[in-house]
Amino acid sequence: MSLAKRLIPCLDVENGRVVKGVNFVDIRDAGCPLEIARRYNEAGADEITFLDITATHEGRDTTYKTVEAIASEVFIPLTVGGGVRSVDDVRALLHSGADKVSINSAAITNPDLVSDAAAKFGNQCIVVAIDAKRVSGANEPARWEIFTHGGRKATGIDALKWSVEMTARGAGELLVTSMDRDGTKNGFDLELMTKINELVSVPTIASGGVGNLQHLVDGVQKGGADAVLAASIFHFGEFTIAEAKQAMANAGIEVRL
Amino acid sequence: MDRIAVIDYGMGNLHSAAKAVQKVAPNDEVVVTSDVSVIESADRIFFPGVGAIGDCMKAIREAGIDRVLADQIYQKPTFGICVGMQSLFDHSEESGGVDALGILPGQVLKFGAMHEHGKPLKVPHMGWNQVTQVEHPIWHNIRPDARFYFVHSYYVNALDRDSVFGKGHYGIEFDALVAVENLVACQFHPEKSGNDGLQLIKNFVDWNGQC
């Protein structure tokens, strides 16, 4: 008996609709968040992550309503992120029914937000999203930097150091997205995952780049991730959640079937 | 129609817990409340909890929930969840050491440094894990290998070993579900544990409070 590795479908939501773009650009519509969440739950998803990609610009009311609708019908953990800027934002999402709130760019402009939110609501509900891009040259030791604005803006912050700082401030989980891989279907950045897992003692979620089921297996077995996250391979029906779980189980990974 | 009180002492969201109870008990009245008279008039009590136990105990005492629980807990089926379970015991190591309700004898301890297959185990214990079930009506129609969703860094060590009806496993063995008379309490979140969790809540709602 041991803890199962988790499979997490991610819904990128814009104006109340699920979308997923290639490298965060060229977005396609893949449906209603509640319908998709319900379908994923029935198919055996371990958790659902919901990222409001327009939250930085748009009003939040649609988001809260969508979260509440999902939490009323889908009885598995729900993580919500996107545009979370303050302790009040965290509180509002938790009260709408989110179990965990993912903090992304606001952690960079205001790292105290992570400490404050963790102290207030508990580490277990604070996820910090690490959007990392490889910045080292071909012959240099691997180095990754934190990027914001969907991977367009460099911050100069070292991703590994940042992971350690965020967990020290109270992040209960890290959602690690390779901005190089996101949307490419070439698999996770396993080296990035491995390095972060050597440094932190909280659970990590690998994200960005899943194109086939072996990539999910590799995220756990080679990257050391506690959970693997994917969006488009599920939204467009290339693979089902059940197939993904079975592939992980066949590879010897303990999963919830 | 029964009245089911979900106790609200202002610590976090009880929306999911209340919705899950309503889903399995569509004909019952589910009330999220801190009102002592409503809790007293209820047929069943859910006592959830999230966050740090220090803050929870403070809120429980400020809302007078400690007194009503001590009074009501053996009068009607009562179900403590997560920090709700932990707070029933004597004392927790969390928040620098906190005296809890002392309704059940035992301690709430922190997961220490642990290893499994040569790798350090991460804390919090977060995700889906199995529970070694001991026969009790709460497990009705739930497979022995069913998984439940856990999120915690502290665990219960009950003094009365006969009260343990579910053992969790994460580096060490801990008490995942305890039951004493009409009181049941679990460390995992049944309201977040999919169909097996809903079945467990249904079992509690259908339960006459006897083993």
Domain covering B3-206 in this structure, CATH number: 3.40.50.880
What would the CATH number be for the domain defined by A7-250?
A: 3.20.20.70
Residue A24 confidence (pLDDT): 31
Q: Are strands B125-133 and B147-152 parallel, antiparallel or unpaired?
A: antiparallel
The answer to whether residue A226 is catalytic is no
In tens, the pLDDT along A115-128 reads 999 988 888 899 99
Please give, one letter per residue, the 3-state secondary structure of A34-75.
HHHHHHHHHCCCCCEEEEECCCCCCCCHHHHHHHHHHHHHCC
Set of chain A residues whose Cβ sits within 8 Å of the Cβ of B132: 1
d(CA A234, CA A228): 13
- pLDDT at site A120: 86
Instruction: Identify the pLDDT of residue A13.
Output: 86
Tens place of pLDDT per residue across chain B (211 aa): 899 999 998 776 687 899 999 999 999 999 999 999 999 999 999 999 887 888 899 999 999 999 999 999 889 999 999 999 999 999 999 988 999 999 999 999 999 887 777 778 888 999 999 999 999 999 999 999 999 999 999 999 999 999 999 999 999 999 999 999 999 999 999 999 999 999 999 999 999 887 6
Q: Residue B132: beta bridge partners?
A: B167
Domains of chain B, residue spans? 3-206
pLDDT score of B74 = 85
Report how many helices (DSSP H) and strands (DSSP E) chain A contains, helices first.
10, 12
Give ipTM to 2 decimals: 0.91
**For residue A79, how far is the Cα from the chain centroid?**
8
pLDDT band at A21 (very low <50, low <70, confident <90, very high): very low
Give the C-alpha separation, B156 to B54, whole Å.
15
CB atoms under 10 Å from CB of A57, counted, come to 8
Q: Is A20 a residue whose pLDDT tops 70?
A: no
Residue range A48-69: mean pLDDT, rounded? 79
A236 pLDDT higher than 80:
no
- Residue B82 catalytic? yes
| Residue A55 clears pLDDT 70, i.e. is over it | no
Q: What is the pLDDT of residue B208?
A: 86
Phi, psi of A191 (to 5 degrees): -65, -40
Give the pLDDT confidence score for residue A2 in this predicted structure. Answer: 87
Chain A residues lying within 8 Å of B123, measured CB to CB: 201-202
What does the pLDDT average to over A167-186? 95
Per-residue pLDDT at A30: 52
Write down the pLDDT at residue B38: 95
Which residue of chain A is at minimal alpha-carbon distance from B117?
A2
Contact B194 A96 (CB under 8 A): no
- A235/A213 Cα distance (integer angstroms): 14
Burial class (CB in 10 A: 0-12, 13-18, 19+), B210: exposed
Catalytic member of B82, B94, B125, B152: B82
Q: How many CA atoms lie within 13 A of B10 on its CB side?
A: 12
Q: How confident is the model at residue A59 (pLDDT cuts 50, 70, 90)?
A: low
Closest chain B C-alpha to A25 CA, distance in angstroms: 32
**pLDDT for res B167:** 98
Tokens, residue A54: 């327009």
Q: Residue A26: is its pLDDT beyond 80?
A: no
Two structure tokens written together for A114: 């992570």
Is residue A56's pLDDT more than 60? no
Alpha carbon of A55: minimum distance to chain B alpha carbons (Å): 22
Shortest Cα–Cα distance, A233 to chain B (Å): 23
In this prediction, residues A227-240 reach a mean pLDDT of 87
Is the CB of residue B148 less than 8 Å from the CB of residue B196?
Answer: yes
Q: Per-residue pLDDT for A23 more than 50?
A: no
Segment A223-234 shows an average pLDDT of 93
What is the DSSP secondary structure assignment for residue A143, as one 8-state letter? -
Which whole-number Å values give the CA distances from A216 to A139, A195, A228, A239, B85, in the listed order? Answer: 28, 18, 6, 12, 35
The upper half-sphere exposure of residue B185, i.e. CA atoms within 13 Å in the direction of its Cβ, equals 27
Q: Are A124 and B126 in contact (CB < 8 Å)?
A: yes
A58 pLDDT band (50/70/90 cuts)? low
Residues A140-154 have a mean pLDDT of 90
Chain A to chain B Cβ contacts (< 8 Å): 98
Task: Label residue A82 left, alpha or beta by phi (over 0 means left) and psi (-120 to 50 means alpha).
Answer: left
- Residue B132: φ, ψ to 5°: -75, 110
Helical residues (DSSP H) of chain A, grouped into ranges: 33-42, 61-73, 87-96, 105-109, 112-121, 159-168, 190-199, 213-221, 232-235, 241-250
Q: Which residues on adjacent β-strands are paired with residue A230? A: A9
| pLDDT at residue number A238 | 83
